[in-house]
Chain A
Amino acid sequence: NAGVTQTPKFRVLKTGQSMTLLCAQDMNHEYMYWYRQDPGMGLRLIHYSVGEGTTAKGEVPDGYNVSRLKKQNFLLGLESAAPSQTSVYFCASSYEPVNQPQHFGDGTRLSIL
């Protein structure tokens, strides 16, 4: 009964380093999403996917890339981390309808120095 699992939970990077955040869901959901949450702001959509092999840009996609090679996994990559990408990242999934996330992971807290 895992739901949506995000790894890692915490990470500290130096400016310019790269890393990948992993999201896994065991509910056979078609739709998956990556959000970032910053203090005083609501969640903002980075990228999303409507099915295996598909990805689409959200509200704030710059500096991030994603891949959905398997239905249950949605990866978020930072190729060259910047301090402005310090945030809490949430992955979410839903069965339907699209763009209405129903299940969120517990977040990845990322700090970039």
Chain B
Amino acid sequence: GQQLNQSPQSMFIQEGEDVSMNCTSSSIFNTWLWYKQDPGEGPVLLIALYKAGELTSNGRLTAQFGITRKDSFLNISASIPSDVGIYFCAGQAAAGYNTDKLIFGTGTRLQVFP
């Protein structure tokens, strides 16, 4: 089946720093989504991307749909303590197995130190 490689697996940063994480696929995707999960809670949808090259912001968060359609990036500017959590990418493949299903990455665990 399809697989998503999300990196890095974890990040430890200082408050105020910018953060970058990415997600890559072995095949072309039509949709990329980014979620955040706080401890003990369900994921929350942050940003949805539907077109190659699309750049979308949500406050201090910016995500991009890679032009090759095989990757996506999430940036967080000026991190704050409440940014702590696990960030998941998810994508919907354009062709092949499971094209109607959303596939999740394994997550990037973010820790922010004051």
Q: Nearest-CB distance from A28 to chain B (Å)?
A: 18
| B-contact bits for A84-113, CB 8 A (1 contact / 0 none) | 000000101000001111111111000000
The answer to whether A99 touches B104, judged by C-beta atoms less than 8 angstroms apart, is no
Q: When chains A and B are docked, how far (Å) is the Cα of A90 from the Cα of B83?
A: 22
Interface residue tally on B, bucketed by range: 20 to 34
**How many of chain A's residues touch chain B, expressed as a range?**
20 to 34
Closest approach, in angstroms, between the C-beta of A54 and any C-beta of chain B?
14
The reply to whether B102 and A100 form a contact with Cβ atoms under 8 Å apart is: yes
Binding site for A on B (CB under 8 A): 1, 4, 6, 31, 33, 40-45, 48, 88, 90, 92, 98, 100-107
- Which chain A residues have a beta carbon within 8 Å of chain B's beta carbons? 4, 40-45, 58-59, 90, 92, 98-107
